[in-house]
Amino acid sequence: MLTLRPARERGHADHGWLDSRHSFSFAHYFDPRHLHFSELRVINEDRVAPGQGFGQHGHRDMEILSYVLDGELSHRDTLGHGSTLRPGQVQLMSAGTGVQHSEFNASPERPVHFLQIWLTPRESGLEPRYQEAIFDAAEKRGRLRPIITPDGRDGSLVIQQDASVYAALIDGDERTELSLSPGRRGYVHVARGSVTVNGQPLDAGDALKLQQEARVTLEGGTQAEVLVFDLP
């Protein structure tokens, strides 16, 4: 079964310095039809103005993935980590028992465009930890590159949940697919461009929920950047 989540129906918050689109209920946006999908709780598409950002704030019992599309995102946290993320870099913060962090646009001139994604962990009260890695375009070109997995395979970041996240760049005749084990669910989010997923055309910001499907097939892309979630 395929269920389309159109980009135009997402929640929207415009704070001047922050323009955010919410695929799931978040902050002042509430839709009982879109609270979560399996263990996937948040996908926010954020654009932050130059020199602006989120001051120090806390999280707990959540796996938080930051995926930068354009610009530079500066991160600092109370675990002692600090870095500036650019396109191709992926950050995973396991909040566990609690962590404080801040996120700012590192550029005084250019906006930063990124996805912030939350998944619930397998259990509460885990030890907080931080990871990041670089996955360049060549690794994602025409294939589904694992970036987050439970076992860290192929150099992916390790999530505290039975879930995997893949990234792909699909254009022209490129085609790739992911098999889903029985009982698993898939979720596809198009970060940019357009692509056809299991016969369903999708544009930037669109998503597709897959239930009782044997595979996820990506093809017919036009400069598409896509995230695919394999979920319990």
Question: To the nearest whole number, what is the mean pLDDT of the chain?
Answer: 94
pLDDT value of residue 95: 84
Instruction: Kindly report the number of other CB atoms within 10 A of residue 167's CB atom.
Output: 22
Domain of 174: which CATH number? 2.60.120.10
Which tokens is 184 given?
């698993």
pLDDT reading at 98 higher than 90: no
* Residues 70 and 181 grouped into a single domain: no
Name the residue range of residue 200's domain: 137-231
Does residue 149 lie in a domain region?
A: yes
Specify whether the CB–CB gap between 96 and 126 falls below 8 A.
yes
DSSP secondary structure letter of residue 225: E
Does residue 19 lie in a domain region?
A: yes
Does residue 6 lie in a domain region?
A: no
Task: Give, in degrees to the nearest 5, the angle at Cα 82 between 77 and 88.
Answer: 115
pTM of the model: 0.95
Break the chain down into helix, strand, coil percent, rounded to 5.
Answer: 5, 60, 40
- Mean pLDDT lowest among 58-62, 175-179, 209-213, 226-230: 58-62
* Residues 178 and 65 grouped into a single domain: no
Average pLDDT over residues 16-30: 95
| Best mean pLDDT range from 45-54, 89-98, 142-151 | 142-151
